[in-house]
Structure 1
């Protein structure tokens, strides 16, 4: 069955308005729309039998003409079950997969083998896509080369019910998580396949993405996030960075594939003078991983090697009670 929930947000920026580069300093209280969450919680979000669309919560306003067209962002959340896609849902999922293919190809120089009958190129798609809630953020003022609204950010959210149907979480493909997941009373939401269009890597896009993640977490009554954060190996020795994260709790979990020795010695940040490996700003980390570290996440003690992307995957574990007081407003 398919759920389709959309929220339209019209973004207007005054001349001279300051855009914060660090998400930790952004006033995120505005990210959580209580009306949207109330509407979500009014439904059995995981088991709705019909497709439903929520009316836009913010109406456009007429402003002075501008020589530059401002983005018109729309966040779409699509919950899918295997072989029960509507054409509308299938299109949103295809748009997300095309964006993933574009960004991951550029970041990791990877080739994909996924096939879709309406796509002329191989795509980043796998069986897990059929069991997740996919978030797609669009800029409706622009179209892609296929005539669709331009997808500018996406992520997929994997709850425990989806993991039961799929057989396991995606992270369990790389990390031995049986004891962690079995011994603690957490309703976990796995965040994965997150990417942002190269032309939209600013705080506004991240805010729209995070707003949808928060809405799904509220709807599913989630109390912990987890996921794999991929770091290009050429950015530095990921294992050295993990070892220097003294403020982060390390989880003694086994990896399915250790980082190859030749990859570890290719470029070692610890040998660079005056580099503070404990500071995420000195390491080329994905934006979400930087945010999780600041919020107080635990990290897997070892990184896993992903041969498909030729990258290092870091396991992130963030129970909500572990979030630092400064960042508790992200969850409420």
Structure 2
């Protein structure tokens, strides 16, 4: 991954132990102690830092790992979801994980620049599917019921890629959620990362995992690169 600078921010690959300490500290701030601890997936991932140029402060971080269908069962997400259906996917896949933005930095350009860099990486590596876990804060589904109702109504995957239940503790929102979504409430409570996935044609699992260790509810999220609208691809590529 090449060094990239745009506006008030720069993006680079974490390369040193100090860089990893910065990434882990930001993860800990955003996800709590569990998210800030290195795990076995860190060693086989490329880690990215988005930094504010003026202060040098890390304002976002994420990790990426290249896989294919034959190895999708070794992914982080496969700990929580049965991904047997995705083993049939023909083409390179990229797992995106531990994506977080500093809670004191609300500039939407941070997310845009991160996605622009991801787009460049996807183009360079020939990635055909991007996937990961998109998290809602906390383990109580009640504040997000309209968001889950919207996911059920509009954003389920093709049956051939459907992730199945593997985790012991799940919220089966497609079974339990019967309401018609209030779009204003749904969009207000949808995590920004997930909202971006969906705007590009992404889809989600039909259930959420209740992750007590991370204190989150998360859904498996997939995005076939071929499904991204050409106009949106053009906008993202123009930023790099």
Shorter-chain TM band:
0.7 to 0.9
Partners of 1:324 and 1:140 in 2: CA distance? 31
Q: How many angstroms does 1:329 deviate by?
A: 2.5
Does residue 31 of structure 2 align to residue 104 of structure 1? yes
Corresponding residue SS for 2:37: coil
Corresponding residue SS for 1:102: helix
Partners of 1:278 and 1:257 in 2: CA distance? 31
**TM-score calculated relative to the size of structure 2:** 0.81
Q: 1 or 2, which has the higher helix percentage?
A: 2
Are the equivalent residues in 1 in contact too, given 2:63–2:96 (CA < 8 A)?
Answer: yes
Partners of 2:52 and 2:220 in 1: CA distance? 31
Q: Which residue of 1 aligns with 2:37?
A: 124
What per-residue deviation string (whole Å, max 9, x for no partner) do you get for residues 144-185 of structure 1? xxxxx3111111111117x95x971111111111221x2121
Partners of 1:179 and 1:248 in 2: CA distance? 17
Q: Which residue of 2 aligns with 1:199?
A: 104
Partners of 1:297 and 1:75 in 2: CA distance? 24
User: Which 5+ residue runs of structure 2 have no aligned equivalent?
Assistant: none
What per-residue deviation string (whole Å, max 9, x for no partner) do you get for residues 239-295 of structure 1? 77445432223353222225467x98xxx9977xx961597414x121110111122
Q: 1 or 2, which has the higher strand percentage?
A: 2
Q: Which residue of 1 aligns with 2:13?
A: 77
Partners of 2:192 and 2:150 in 1: CA distance? 19
What per-residue deviation string (whole Å, max 9, x for no partner) do you get for residues 80-105 of structure 1? xxxxxxxx522212111111111122
Match of 1:305 among 190, 210, 216: 210
Pair member with larger Rg = 1
**Cα distance change on mapping 1:228 and 1:330 into 2, 3 Å:** farther
Match of 1:140 among 53, 56, 79: 53
Equivalent positions of 1:21-170 (< 5 A) are 72-78=8-14, 88-105=15-32, 111-112=33-34, 123-142=36-55, 149-160=56-67, 168-170=74-76
Are the equivalent residues in 1 in contact too, given 2:133–2:219 (CA < 8 A)?
Answer: yes
Are the equivalent residues in 2 in contact too, given 1:139–1:152 (CA < 8 A)?
Answer: yes
Corresponding residue SS for 1:257: coil
Q: Which residue of 2 aligns with 1:248?
A: 155
Partners of 2:150 and 2:168 in 1: CA distance? 18
Q: Which residue of 2 aligns with 1:47?
A: none
Q: How many angstroms does 1:219 deviate by?
A: 2.1
**TM-score calculated relative to the size of structure 1:** 0.60
Does residue 121 of structure 2 align to residue 216 of structure 1? yes
Partners of 1:316 and 1:260 in 2: CA distance? 15
Partners of 2:5 and 2:126 in 1: CA distance? 23
Q: Which residue of 1 aligns with 2:133?
A: 228
Q: Which residue of 1 aligns with 2:4?
A: 7
